C-alpha cells in the first residue's frame, strides 16, 4: 500500500528499503515473491528503478541505525521531511505486504517489525492499529 505523497528522496528510500528488507529477512529466508514485492514497493516509494541485488549487498540495518540516520541534521534526509511516525507506518504496512507473499508473518518477522516501529517512536497499540487486520499473523507479539 503506497501513500499518495511525493516520492521519497533516494537516500531515505534506500534506508526505508533496507528496513523492509531486514524485516523480510528476519526469518533467514527471502523468497522470490518477497524480493519482487520489495522492488515494486521501493520503486513506487522512490519513483526510480531498483535492483534487488544491490540492496542484498548492504549490511543488515538495525533499528537504532535507522533512527540515528533520521536524527542527522545533514545528509540525505534534509530535503525530504518525513515524520518518524509516517516512516514507521510505511515500514509496517509495506513489510507486512512483503512477507505475506509467502502467506504468513513469522514470529521473527513480527518481532523485527515491532523493533523498527518502536525505535521510530510508535507504541504497540499504534502498531496494532496499523495492522489490525493482520493480528492473527502476529500471535501474542502485539
d(CA 28, CA 31): 10
- Sign of the CA dihedral 93, 83, 108, 17? positive
Please indicate, yes or no, if residue 138 is contained in any of the structural domains.
no
Average pLDDT over residues 110-131: 88
Query: What is the tally of structural domains in the chain?
Result: 1
pLDDT of amino acid 2:
45
Please indicate, yes or no, if residue 103 is contained in any of the structural domains.
yes
pLDDT of amino acid 135:
60
Please indicate, yes or no, if residue 22 is contained in any of the structural domains.
yes
d(CA 142, CA 110): 9
Min mean pLDDT across 94-98, 99-103, 114-118, 133-137 is at 133-137
* 124 against 89, higher pLDDT: 89
pTM for the whole structure: 0.83
Please indicate, yes or no, if residue 87 is contained in any of the structural domains.
yes
Per the structure, the complete domain to which residue 41 belongs is given by 10-133
Please indicate, yes or no, if residue 5 is contained in any of the structural domains.
no
Please indicate, yes or no, if residue 139 is contained in any of the structural domains.
no
User: Mean pLDDT score of the chain, rounded to an integer?
Assistant: 82
Please indicate, yes or no, if residue 1 is contained in any of the structural domains.
no
d(CA 45, CA 7): 5
Please indicate, yes or no, if residue 34 is contained in any of the structural domains.
yes
Q: What is the CATH number of the domain that holds 39?
A: 1.10.3680.10
> Nearest-5° angle of CA 110, CA 112, CA 22?
115
H or E segment and range at residue 45 = helix 32-46
pLDDT of amino acid 91:
93
Amino acid at each position: 500500500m503506497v501513500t499518495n505523497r511525493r516520492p521519497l528522496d533516494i537516500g531515505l528510500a534506500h534506508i526505508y528499503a533496507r528496513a523492509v528488507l531486514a524485516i523480510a529477512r528476519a526469518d533467514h529466508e527471502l523468497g522470490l515473491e518477497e524480493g519482487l514485492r520489495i522492488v515494486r514497493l521501493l520503486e513506487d516509494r522512490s519513483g526510480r528503478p531498483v535492483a534487488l541485488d544491490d540492496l542484498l549487498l548492504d549490511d543488515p540495518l538495525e533499528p537504532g541505525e535507522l533512527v540515528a540516520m533520521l536524527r542527522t541534521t545533514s545528509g540525505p534526509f534534509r530535503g525530504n521531511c518525513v515524520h518518524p511516525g509516517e516512516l514507521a507506518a510505511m515500514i509496517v504496512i509495506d513489510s507486512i505486504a512483503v512477507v505475506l507473499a509467502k502467506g504468513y508473518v513469522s514470529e521473527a518477522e513480527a518481532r523485527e517489525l515491532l523493533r523498527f516501529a518502536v525505535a521510530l517512536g510508535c507504541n504497540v497499540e499504534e502498531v496494532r492499529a496499523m495492522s489490525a487486520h493482520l493480528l492473527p499473523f502476529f500471535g501474542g507479539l502485539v
